[in-house]
Amino acid sequence: QLQLRESGPGLVKPSETLSLTCTVSGGSISSSNYYWGWIRQPPGKGLEWIGSIYHSGSTYYNPSLKSRVTISVDTSKNQFSLKLSSVTATDTAVYYCARPQVRGAISDAFDIWGQGTRVTVSS
Amino acid sequence: DIQMTQSPSSLSASVGDRVTITCRTSQRITTFLNWYQQKPGKAPKLLIYATSNLQTGVPSRFSGSGSGTDFTLTISSLQPEDFATYYCQQSYSTPLTFGGGAKVEIK
């Protein structure tokens, strides 16, 4: 059974870079032909898609965050990662990694989610 | 970007009630509309994909309908475990976008 788990610092200082990793278990990133995504949710607010990556490294980003976001994949570790630079308090959120239902689909419903990791931006 | 507007943003209902939540999109998305349920402290759970397809394991009291720009999630008989926040999401084009949520509370 495929599982996703986010990890990384829970506290990041303003202007620094937020770095999170999603570890995939129960399946292989490199052979699965899925796009793997990052989604965030500020406290008490709705969901925002950050971006997605294919095992080949092909990426799609939300234009609202594109200048600050880098998503990468490490198939040898079965992980994909998120870096968000120059963070401010508005980047405080629960960050989820997720996988869409359909192989090869960048635009799709997400049927498998990690449990989420809370990141606070504060000095 | 495709804007998603959910209504109502919150509602109070009783067990056994029929509940309807609406999602309107800023442009036509055919049937590329998905619904999620989220409980406090938990990740969203996919309920319905492509407007009307029930995800495996989701009770049949949940249903979805619509096309174009107007979509509906219906819970035919509200159960205690259904009290949660519901989000719509369009998968027609990137950036993928979500509605603001509809919180279903106990009356």
Query: What's the pLDDT tens digit per position in B22-47?
Result: 999 999 999 999 999 999 999 999 99
pLDDT at A4: 98
Summarize the confidence of residues A31-50 as an average pLDDT: 95
The predicted structure's pLDDT at residue A120: 98
Q: Is the pLDDT of residue B86 over 90?
A: yes
**Out of A2-6, A16-20, A27-31, A66-70, least confident range:** A27-31
Q: How many CB pairs under 8 A join A and B?
A: 57
pLDDT at position A105: 87
Q: For position A87, what pLDDT does the model report?
A: 98
Residue numbers in A near B87 (CB within 8 A): 46-47
Scan for tokens 């970007």, then name that residue: B1
* pLDDT interval class at B6 (50, 70, 90): very high
Work out whether strand A18-25 and strand B97-98 pair parallel, antiparallel, or are unpaired. Answer: unpaired
Residue A119 has pLDDT above 90, yes or no: yes
pLDDT band at B79 (very low <50, low <70, confident <90, very high): very high
Q: What are phi and psi of A67, to 5 degrees?
A: -70, -15
Cross-chain Cβ contact A101/B46 below 8 Å? yes
Assigned token pair, A82: 């998120």
Distance CA B6, CA B26 (A): 11
| pLDDT of A104 higher than 90 | no
Q: Considering only CB atoms, which residues of chain B are within 8 Å of chain A? A: 1, 32, 34, 42-46, 49-50, 55, 87, 89, 91-101
Which amino acid is present at B93?
S
Give the closest-approach CA distance of A111 to chain B in angstroms.
6
Strand pairing class (B102-106; B10-13): parallel
Of A47, A101, A107, nearest to B94 by CB-CB distance is: A107
pLDDT in tens, A45-59: 999 999 999 989 999
Contact B43 A62 (CB under 8 A): no
User: What is the mean predicted confidence (pLDDT) over B72-82?
Assistant: 97
